[in-house]
Structure 1
Amino acid sequence: MSEYRQIPGYENLYEASSNGTIWTCEGKTTFRNIHGKRQKRVWKRRQIIPKREKRQSSTHYDLRVELWKNGSHQTKLVHRLIAISFIPNPQNKPCINHIDGNSENNRPENLEWCTYKENQIHAFRTGLNKHCKRVELISTYDHKHHTFYSMAEASKFLKMSHGFVSGLVSRGIMNFGEYKILIKD
Structure 2
Amino acid sequence: MKSSDEIWKDVPGYEGKYQVSSCGRVKGIDYYVREKSGKERLHTGRMLKTFIVNGGYHCLKLQVQNKRKSFLVHRLVAMAFIPNPNGYDTVNHKDENKNNNSVENLEWLPLYQNNRYGNHDAKMRLKLSKPVKQYTQDGVLIREYESVASVKNYGFNPAGVSKVAKGDLKTHKGYIWKY
Shift in Å, 1:43: 2.6
CA spacing shift, 1:23–1:121, aligned 2, 3 Å: same
Query: 2:48 matched to which residue of 1?
Result: 48
- Alpha-carbon distance in 1 for matches of 2:107, 2:47: 23
Query: 1:28 matched to which residue of 2?
Result: 31
Letter in 2 for 1:93: Y
Query: Aligned with 1:54: secondary structure?
Result: coil
- CA RMSD of superposed structures (Å): 2.8
TM-score (norm 1): 0.59
Query: 2:58 matched to which residue of 1?
Result: 63
Runs of 4+ in 1 over 2 A off after TM superposition: 27-33, 37-45, 126-136
Identity, % of aligned positions: 28
TM-score (norm 2): 0.61
Shift in Å, 1:53: 1.7
Gaps of at least 5 residues in structure 2 are: 131-178
Would the aligned equivalents of 1:101 and 1:128 in 2 still touch at CA under 8 Å?
no
Please give the residue correspondences for 1:1-185 in structure 2 after superposition, counting only pairs within 5 Å. Answer: 1=4, 2-25=6-29, 27-30=30-33, 41-55=41-55, 61-123=56-118, 126-129=119-122
Query: 1:162 matched to which residue of 2?
Result: none
Once the two structures are superposed, residues 25-49 of structure 1 have per-residue CA deviations (whole angstroms, 9 ceiling, x without a partner) of 1x2345788xxx8996533232101
Would the aligned equivalents of 1:65 and 1:76 in 2 still touch at CA under 8 Å?
yes
Larger radius of gyration: 2
Would the aligned equivalents of 2:96 and 2:120 in 1 still touch at CA under 8 Å?
no
CA spacing shift, 1:40–1:52, aligned 2, 3 Å: farther
CA spacing shift, 1:114–1:29, aligned 2, 3 Å: farther
CA spacing shift, 1:44–1:91, aligned 2, 3 Å: same
- Alpha-carbon distance in 2 for matches of 1:84, 1:31: 31
Instruction: Give the length in aligned residue pairs.
Output: 126
Letter in 2 for 1:44: T
